[in-house]
Amino acid sequence: MSLARARLLLPRKHAVGSVSLIQRRFASHDSHAHHEHHDDAHYSPEAGFSTPFWRNTVLLSLFAVGFYKWAPSPNQDVYLTRWLAQYTTPSEIWATVNQKHLLLSHQASENTILQTDAKRPNVHRYRYPQILDTGSPHLQPVGRVADMSSTVVRSG
């Protein structure tokens, strides 16, 4: 019952007759006679193992057993095996392709390692590079001072 209809049935002020109507509507069914529901529908008996599912299962299992028993062994040279071998690439070609791929992959990994481990060369930066030009190149003992004539001071 909807709420709007129940609100209409609720007792208004000083209305006596509608209370008994609501009590009758919501009363339990204990006072009424119990009626058993008899199912008169006719159900077919269960099919058991005569359904198409079981028939197909038995036929498929017989086919699998027969194929396993009479199929040629893997070492026999059968027409189907020869026909498939005609359209497939020989194993020697795949071996050379795989070897070449292995060598190229190895070279690529070595290049990657070389690039990831690479570092810029160490640069010694002097605080005052003009100090290199202050000394006289003359009257220096042999072997005590390095030859700095080809050194170029860069700004940076």
pLDDT given for residue 50 in this prediction? 82
Q: Encoding tokens for residue 95?
A: 């071996």
Report residue 135 CA to chain centroid gap: 72
For residues 149 and 132, what is the distance between their CA atoms, to the nearest angstrom? 10
Q: Encoding tokens for residue 11?
A: 């007792």
The structure's pTM equals 0.33
- Residues 90-132: pLDDT tens digits? 999 999 999 999 999 999 999 999 999 999 888 888 888 777 7
> Residue ranges of the domains in the chain?
74-116
- Residues 53-68: pLDDT tens digits? 999 999 999 999 999 8
Residue 60 vs residue 74, higher pLDDT: 60
- Residues 4-42: pLDDT tens digits? 676 777 666 554 555 565 565 555 555 555 567 778 888
pLDDT given for residue 79 in this prediction? 84
